[in-house]
């Protein structure tokens, strides 16, 4: 994907206007910006934002301006006004997620004001990555984590049973001989699911061509995350039953999680290669750039 109408020295907007917009944006959204950065740094479930947000801005810079882009100041101002109204509501309700959404919406409004909706569509990949970097509300995280805990517990218990280990599943508790294995919220796989979804979006946007292929790789990242997390629960239970119960905690448990996380990345990359090979076989070749 190449940009045809972009000069990094001339964005088509006066420098003074850009400085004024940036200053106003920081003034209006300084609290959500600081809150989001703090959440990225302190919350393990949101830490992927430290990577995704800078990556999104870099990809936007790299892809440049869209061909035939045109400013749409009226629509841009409409979006910005809506964002400011949401910012006001979030301040009254002390709701961090609404404030972050308002900040995200205001950023989109600035793009529409300066370069139009065509530019926003041209930057679909950075926009998606930036959206994925936004920390979710606790109520959403809780509603997602619990089903993932149960799914990981079921899969882990089923795999342990295939190895002849007596297992009794009680919700998110796997009862082994002489030891109970708790699949906590931290072990639900929510972090790996978020990371793999982000990787699927990134691989689809950078490597694949067809919208169907891009949707497919993002959709396939979900079962890959669930499967790998179930294998992690199985591995922990196996170590507890046959080696040492202490291996279910601490550094060894964390190392096991990181190793399987790398395996999940490799699986998703392998699936992407297969889809890419199918694309090369069935899709028409791209015309060479003039």
Dist CA 170 CA 183 (whole Å): 11
Regions of the chain short of the pLDDT cut 70: 1-14, 182-189, 241-257, 285-290
If DSSP states are collapsed to H, E and C, what string results for the chain? CCCCCCECCECCCCHHHHHHHHHHHHHHHHHHHHHHHHHHHHCHHHCCHHHHHHHHHHHHHHHCCCCCCCCCHHHHHHHHHHHHHHHHHHHHHCCHHHHHHHHHHHHHHHHHHHHCHHHHHHCHHHHHHHHHHCCCCHHHHHHHHHHHHHHHHHHHHHHHHHCCCCCEEECCEEEECCEEEECCHHHCCHHHHHHHHHHHHHHHHHCCCCHHHHHHHHHHHHHHHHHHHHHHHHHHHHHHHHCCHHHHCHHHHHHHHHHHHHHHHHHHHHHHHHHHHHHHHHCCCCCCCC
Distance of CA 111 to the CA centre of its chain: 22
Strand 173-176 and strand 179-182: the pairing is: antiparallel
Residue recorded with tokens 């530019």? 119
- The confidence score (pLDDT) of residue 247 equals 57
pTM over 0.75? The answer is yes
- The confidence score (pLDDT) of residue 140 equals 77
- The confidence score (pLDDT) of residue 81 equals 92
Cα separations in angstroms, 8 against 12, 67, 171: 10, 14, 55
Dist CA 14 CA 83 (whole Å): 23
- The confidence score (pLDDT) of residue 230 equals 82
Q: Are 40 and 47 in contact (CB under 8 A)?
A: yes
- The confidence score (pLDDT) of residue 102 equals 92
Query: How do residues 267-286 score in pLDDT, each as one tens digit?
Result: 999 999 999 998 888 877 66
């Amino acid at each position: 994907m190449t940009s045809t109408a972009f000069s990094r020295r001339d964005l088509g907007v006066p420098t003074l206007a850009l400085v004024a917009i940036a200053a106003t944006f920081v003034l209006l959204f300084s609290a959500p910006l600081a809150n989001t950065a703090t959440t990225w740094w302190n919350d393990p479930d949101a830490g992927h934002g430290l990577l995704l947000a800078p990556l999104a801005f870099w990809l936007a810079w790299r892809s440049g301006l869209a061909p035939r882009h045109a400013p749409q100041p009226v629509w841009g101002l409409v979006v910005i006004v809506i964002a400011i109204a949401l910012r006001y509501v979030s301040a009254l309700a002390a709701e961090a997620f609404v404030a972050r959404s308002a900040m995200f919406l205001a950023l989109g409004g600035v793009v529409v004001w300066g370069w139009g909706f065509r530019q926003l569509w041209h930057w679909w990949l950075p926009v998606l990555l930036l959206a994925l970097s936004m920390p979710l509300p606790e109520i959403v995280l809780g509603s997602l984590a619990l089903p993932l805990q149960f799914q990981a517990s079921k899969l882990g218990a089923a795999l342990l049973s295939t190895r002849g280990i007596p297992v009794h599943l009680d919700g998110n508790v796997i009862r082994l001989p002489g030891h109970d294995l708790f699949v906590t919220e931290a072990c639900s796989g929510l972090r790996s699911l978020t990371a793999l979804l982000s990787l699927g979006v990134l691989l689809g946007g950078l490597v694949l061509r067809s919208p169907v292929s891009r949707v497919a790789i993002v959709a396939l990242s979900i079962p890959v995350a669930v499967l790998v997390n179930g294998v992690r629960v199985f591995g922990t239970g196996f170590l507890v039953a046959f080696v040492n119960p202490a291996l279910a905690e601490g550094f060894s448990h964390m190392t096991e999680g990181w190793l399987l996380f790398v395996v999940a990345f490799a699986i998703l990359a392998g699936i992407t290669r297969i889809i890419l090979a199918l694309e090369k076989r069935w899709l028409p070749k791209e015309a060479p750039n003039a």
